[in-house]
Amino acid sequence: MNNLLQQLVVYYTHKMTKLDKKIKFYELNASKDNKEVIEKHQKKIAVLKSKVAELNKKLSIQTTDRIDGLNKKLETEKDETVKKHLIKTIDILSAKTQLSNEEQHLISLSHLTMKFGGLKAVDDLSFTVNKGEIFGLIGPNGAGKTTVFNCITQFYKATEGSVYYTDTHGDVHDLNDFKVHNIIDLGIARTFQNVELVWELSVLDNLLVGAHSLYTAGFFSQLFHLPKLRKEEALLKQKATDILESLGLTAYKHVIPYGLPYGILKKIELARVLMTNPKLIILDEPAAGLNDSETKELAKTILDIKQKYALTIILVEHDMELVMDICDRICAMSFGQKLAVGTPKEIQSNKQVQTAYLGGE
């Protein structure tokens, strides 16, 4: 899979996201000269887009060839386990071409498997999340929910299977081709189960760390604090202030987060995620450690930000009330395997899910 064409696509995608960022910066401080620059960048993007399209065409021809080859192998193969494996591979490969035609698709797992030594933390998991959905991932402790998140954000490289993601330009990428720190450029941002902030920086600076991927100023403009950096810094500070205000955190703006109440820390992390201009945010137990009223407030906040920033949200949560309240669809997992996917009502009435949670009868 990891051939030269694939790497080229990834490279061009990076270039495009960089140009996108530049355009956004110039759009924000609009003046006459900037229009030309923006047009220039847009032309560049168009060129890159056509290149990517061409490469994708070549790649899809390759994959169809590979699928054909595998199909032939499948016909002659007799061993059941090998046969199963072949079918899976074919499925993974063909998923990509299918998905590039689906407009609503945002992210999907295709036969994702993650092994740690002999332990299968995630076993052959597949689901699809559409644009604008709030998708819940539930399951008992140790079901592998966080591992799924880590596989999506590439903290772990999946042992098998793919994570397909449709970027803003409409191209479908296998996230396994990207590095951890490049995932954010595609518009995927995450929070952590235990709040992971920078304890030596103020809340505002923490948000600016979140905006790190949006900076276009190079090392030298940072070294000499050239006007470009100052302008960017001012713009992003304004953005951070706005976000803090909308989440009701203005009072903590210049405070070091260390020692603040847990609910506030969770909100700061949410604010940091919003700084990154995300398309998809992944929340790992957003309500853990919160009391009832805080949880209710959180539910409202999540719905609000989803509306305001046109987000898609995937969340892991143990608080069933919250999950059933705000999620459009839910995937229930147990021991790394998928139990069921459906609307909250369907999940509630699902027998398998009930046994997994309440124990067998």
Partner 1 sequence: MDKIKHFIQLKLKNPLYQFLLFGVLLLLLPILSPFMSVTTTDALAKTLIYFIVALGFSLLIGYGGLASLGTSSFIAIGTFVAYAGINEFELPFLLTILLGVFIALIFGLIFGIVSLRIEGMYLAIVTLGLSEIMIELFKNFDRFTGGVSGTTSRAIEMFGLRLTSNETLIIVVVFVVLAMVLTYNLINSPFGRALLSIKNNDSAAQAMGISVIKYRLIAFIVSTVYAVLGGILYMSYVKFSMGSTWGLAISLNILAAVVVGGSKSIWGVLLGTFMIFGMDLILFKNIDFLSDSKFANLSFVISGLLIILVTMFYPNGLAGLINELKYKIKRLRLKHQAGKDHE
| Least gap, CB of 121 to partner 1 (angstroms) | 17
In whole angstroms, give the CA distance from residue 108 to residue 173: 11
| Least gap, CB of 212 to partner 1 (angstroms) | 5
Query: Is the separation of the CB atoms in 132 and 310 below 8 Å?
Result: yes
| Least gap, CB of 291 to partner 1 (angstroms) | 25
Q: Give one word for 182, left, alpha or beta, with left for phi > 0 and alpha for psi -120 to 50.
A: alpha
Q: Give one word for 321, left, alpha or beta, with left for phi > 0 and alpha for psi -120 to 50.
A: alpha
Closer to partner 1 by CB, 13 or 213: give it. 213
Closer to partner 1 by CB, 189 or 249: give it. 189
Closer to partner 1 by CB, 48 or 184: give it. 184
| Least gap, CB of 275 to partner 1 (angstroms) | 9
In whole angstroms, give the CA distance from residue 245 to residue 237: 12
| Least gap, CB of 309 to partner 1 (angstroms) | 17
How far is C-alpha 10 from the chain's CA centre?
Answer: 16
**Adjacent-strand bridge partners of 283:** 315
Closer to partner 1 by CB, 65 or 200: give it. 200
Residue ranges that bind partner 1, judged by CB under 8 A? 153, 155, 179-185, 189-190, 192, 196-201, 205, 208-210, 212-213, 215, 217, 219, 222-225, 229, 233, 272, 276
| Least gap, CB of 346 to partner 1 (angstroms) | 32
- Sheet containing strand 280-284, edge to edge, reads 188-190, 280-284, 312-316, 134-138, 329-334, 337-342
Element (H, E) at 340: strand 337-342
In whole angstroms, give the CA distance from residue 278 to residue 184: 8
In the three-class reduction of DSSP (H, G, I as helix; E, B as strand; rest coil), residue 306 is classed as: helix
Closer to partner 1 by CB, 183 or 302: give it. 183
| Least gap, CB of 37 to partner 1 (angstroms) | 21
Closer to partner 1 by CB, 4 or 223: give it. 223
In whole angstroms, give the CA distance from residue 275 to residue 82: 46
